[in-house]
Structure 1
Amino acid sequence: MKHSNIQEMEDSSLWIILDRQKTGTASYIPLLDIPKQILERYRDTEFAGTGGKVFTLQTHVNMNWQLKRIAKAADIDKRLIFHMSRFSFATTVCLTQGVPIESLSQMMGHLSIKTTQIYAEVTRTKINEDMTNLAKTIEGKYDLSNTPTKKRVMKVAFNNE
């Protein structure tokens, strides 16, 4: 990624805009505060790129080696690899926080939403959050009818015999 891929929009927000090498599709990714801070923190360090590049990452092998160095510098006791970062972004950062899969698909540069669905890891926590939000949204909008349905009347009558 090059600094030229980071563009300021009319509303002053920063976006990463680039064409995915694998699919040739455009990716549009708004930069949140933490990524902005990371870019600023590593701007003038040994990890900063040259020739307009943001970081000194050229190949997957080199990228994984650099991620190992970054993990060590950040006291992260886990082996980091490139695909892990895409997976974590997709699942932990986006999907579990409520970003629609359609938006994620565009950010990831996927040609088909079916490719993005691979990342759609649904957890019990997420289901609980979604249903809690739904309960708040529909609260007071629906009432249980006091009129019994035909099935209920028949069941009650059958059980009382």
Structure 2
Amino acid sequence: MAFLKFVLVSCFPLAAGNSLHVASICRNLSCDSKSHPLLDYDPVKKECLCRAHPCWSDANMVHTCPKPEAPFLNFYYTETGQLVCECATAPHYETPYMTKTKCPGQRCRDAEYPVLDFDDYTKECVCRAHPCWDLNGLQHKCKNDKFPVLRYREEEKDGNSHELAL
């Protein structure tokens, strides 16, 4: 089987998981719906799906971030599974699977390593740099403020693996 990598770069107002672990499990899936933009994995059903941001419907509360100094809505789950929604200065989305199931209570606060991920080799949760920041030697960024979330995903076509920075 041939192994080929190529990169497509664009930025969308939607977000997907930036976790290498989730991207590899959910290969070939893209979440392009404004109402369900988060690529996620359901370990009970053993399937990938697109979810709404959990803070958009938190016990009948819709969280927003109206202040310009912290306009981005982020979330995480505590060790007990409680959802925490917060406003942040940088755009970034995790997946509920990573933050609630795989690595509950863990967060990545270092701006250089903001992505919560699961290392399949060590079987530990880790904080990584965004995979699109150094994808095959290229650094990808979102240059349009209206589309601030850089997305990483993987595709497989004709037996070839493709990494994409979107």
- The answer to whether the superposition gives a TM-score over 0.5 is no
Higher strand fraction (1 or 2): 2
Q: Work out which structure has the larger RCO, using CA pairs closer than 8 Å and 6 or more positions apart in sequence.
A: 2
Higher helix fraction (1 or 2): 1
Larger Rg: 1
With the length of structure 1 as denominator, give the TM-score of the two structures: 0.24
